[in-house]
Amino acid sequence: MIVCRSQGEVERIREAGRVVAEALELAETMMEPGVRTLEIDARIEAHIKSRGGKPAFKGYRGFPASTCISIDEVVVHGIPGPRALAAGQIVGVDVGVELNGYFADAARTFAVGDVAEEVSRLMAVGKNALGAGISAAIPGNHLFDISAAVQKVAESAGYSVVREYVGHGIGREMHEDPQIPNYAQTSRGPELKVGMVLALEPMINMGDYDVEVLADKWTVVTKDRRPSVHYEHTIALSEDEPKILTLL
């Protein structure tokens, strides 16, 4: 069942989303060669707790860290550890926060110094794909109109969208109905309504869309080992344009 939230509930989710946004801003300041991913994770965890929140990922289905940090060919669910960042890499940071019983979730892909032109273009297309999905999230449209909008931006640029991992509803739980693929379906899906809160998260690959999970049973990588980007916002549908809840 897809829940439509009251305005008060949306504001509670926005409060959690503000902490998520702060955490991602903090992550951006740490994108320097030599910084270890576990240091980024620890700083973000400390910040979330300082704001009265709880890292939503830590312990979720056994995940061992407060953030997912995914470098280059890692699509999602990278586990922070001793690995140090290096110039020219791209780093996806995914953060979820629970605050006063409500959840928010967002992700951004950062560059460590200068990156190859083709990688910079991939990042730009990933941002644009998320933007297209958000723009399609209006009452009267249907759920999979979002999916089709994301796919169109990615594939028209020559990239592919990951099939196995999708966006989701969010609110009182980290993952709620509905699931939101990033590619078109055979139907348009349920009608979008005011009060729906969705976490849209395109994962765009430079090469093929096929992925695999590494031996740690978490880290998802592109099968062809080409780069991937991940962008996500938690949004709420309103009478007019969608409201992004994971911004400062």
The tokens for 121 are 């273009």
Percentage of residues in the chain with pLDDT exceeding 90? Answer: 100
Q: How confident is the model at residue 225 (pLDDT cuts 50, 70, 90)?
A: very high
pTM of model > 0.95 = yes
What is the average pLDDT across 210-223? 98
Q: Which CATH number fits domain 7-242: 3.40.140.10, 3.90.230.10, 3.40.50.300, 3.90.1180.10?
A: 3.90.230.10
The rounded distance, in Å, linking the Cα atoms of 124 and 145 is: 21
- Strand 74-76 and strand 220-222: the pairing is antiparallel
> Could you tell me which of 240, 234, 239, 241 has the C-alpha nearest to residue 10?
234
Provide the pLDDT for residue 222: 98
What's the pLDDT score for residue 205? 98
Taking the domains of the chain in order of start, what are their residue ranges?
7-242
Distance CA 188, CA 58 (A): 34
Tokens coding 239: 């009478």
Does residue 148 sit in helix, strand or coil?
A: helix
Spatial contact of 76 and 94, defined as CB atoms under 8 Å apart = yes
pLDDT digits (tens, 9 = 90+) for 102-136: 999 999 999 999 999 999 999 999 999 999 999 99
Alpha-carbon separation of residue 121 from 56, 157, 228 (angstroms): 31, 9, 12
Mean pLDDT across the chain, nearest whole number?
98
pLDDT at 74: 98
The pLDDT score that the predictor gives to residue 174 is 97
- Cα separation of 167 and 231, whole Å? 11
Token representation of residue 88: 């020219």
pLDDT of residue 44: 99
Q: What angle do CA 198, 220, 165 make, to 5 degrees?
A: 30
Predicted confidence (pLDDT) per residue in 59-84, tens digit = 999 999 999 999 999 999 999 999 99
